[in-house]
Amino acid sequence: MNKGKVDVLLGLQWGDEGKGKVVDVLTPHYDVVARFQGGPNAGHTLEFEGQKYVLRSIPSGIFQGEKVNIIGNGVVLAPDLFMAEAKELEKSGHALHERLHISRKAHLIMPTHRLLDAAYEAQKGKSKVGTTGKGIGPAYTDKVSRTGLRVGDIFDRFDEKYAAHKARHEAILKSLGMTDYDLTEVERTWMEGIEYIKQFTIVDSEHEVNRLLREGKSVLCEGAQGTMLDIDFGSYPFVTSSNTICAGACTGLGIGPNKIGDVFGIMKAYCTRVGAGPFPTELFDETGKTLRDLGHEYGAVTGRERRCGWIDLVALRYAVMVNGVTKLIMMKSDVLDSFKTIKACVAYRVNGQETRDFPFSVESGVEPVYKELPGWQTDMTKMTSEEQFPQGFKDYIAFLEEQLETPICIVSFGPDRSQTIVRQ
């Protein structure tokens, strides 16, 4: 934690690394938690005191004390889904209205954005990206093409603006051959969501975050998805529609690069991916199935099976580099407990040439080069200190730290917040 600076926490793989749990664990050390990008496809899962929560748009610091939580300008917000998520939290006893602030410059996901999402995916045929269908990509498209609708617009001629945006979307849908739809019920709930948003503190997040820093408050920035889904640096075009890397915290909250302190990079002890797109270390055999079963690898938002494979150090070295990661956090280490041997991809073989650099494209012709390591075959889920780690796991940590040239400061062994060990 650095006074006067923001620390950033983000995923280093293809998302689903367990960011929500770690934000929840780290939040007691911070005054503010702020989301800086992504939409309601985030699916941050947290478990504690026998309860399980899945957050989509609300920052994962909402469960800890009286911390301020901010939805930044880089987020795209679906009013109806946000309302459902917030009301569910309120029902479980977590008060939000005083502690959750929403950026005036955050863009809104309209009902027609979801229709456009479906229409664009259908048009791609076999080249589908595998989106969650939440309308996130089309909302970001409108943002970049300067035709978006923002939270601040709900206070100024909103009905007029909404109607104009809807008409434009419907013209596009007609050109794509999608005319058979009825938005009546969806729009009704969506407009309820708009009125619900008005109950929250609406802020200029760039002013608020910088003011809090000047006051000496500590801020943790929470990213969604993962580095390999970044719109610029991920496995394009099978990526999300925002910058998931550390630089996205600057543009998604309005903070200068000189305000960045520690960058926490989260990874699993193996690797997973949801949806379509390249995945060099994916396993199609019994080992891949075992990883999925032991790790309960199903999407928190969609329920889709996650594709599973060995850890990819080529992609991780790349992610550490583009994010400027200072500390690593390894999740789901216990999933490897029963394996006699473990593999780690240390290089790629591309067109017969071996490389340690992540290439322009990993869609085809990429063969992972593996190093085999001994497993530890010890149940680590009940361990409470680093001293209890089996030697094989200590060796695995040392190997990863050497390969990634970055220390692993936190290790997680299960879904509960108590199953987390901070290394000395």
Residues marked as catalytic: 16, 44
Tokens of 75: 């987020």
Phi-psi region of 135 (alpha: psi -120 to 50; beta: other; left: phi over 0): left
Dihedral sign (CA 401, 404, 408, 413): negative
Contact 276, 129 (CB under 8 A): yes
Contact 224, 218 (CB under 8 A): no
d(CA 287, CA 292): 9
DSSP string covering 84-100, please? HHHHHHHHTT---TTTE
Contact 404, 328 (CB under 8 A): yes
Phi, psi of 176 (to 5 degrees): -95, 5
Tokens of 97: 């209205």
| Long-range CB contact pairs, 245-250, < 8 A, 24+ | 245/10, 245/322, 245/323, 246/8, 246/10, 246/322, 246/323, 246/324, 248/36, 248/37, 248/74, 248/223, 249/6, 249/8, 249/10, 249/36, 249/221, 249/223
Neighbours of 125 (CB within 10 A): 7
The residue behind tokens 């990863």 is 400
What is the DSSP code (8-state) at residue 69? Answer: E
Amino acid at the residue 176: L
Which is nearest to 280 in space by CA: 368, 346, 360?
368
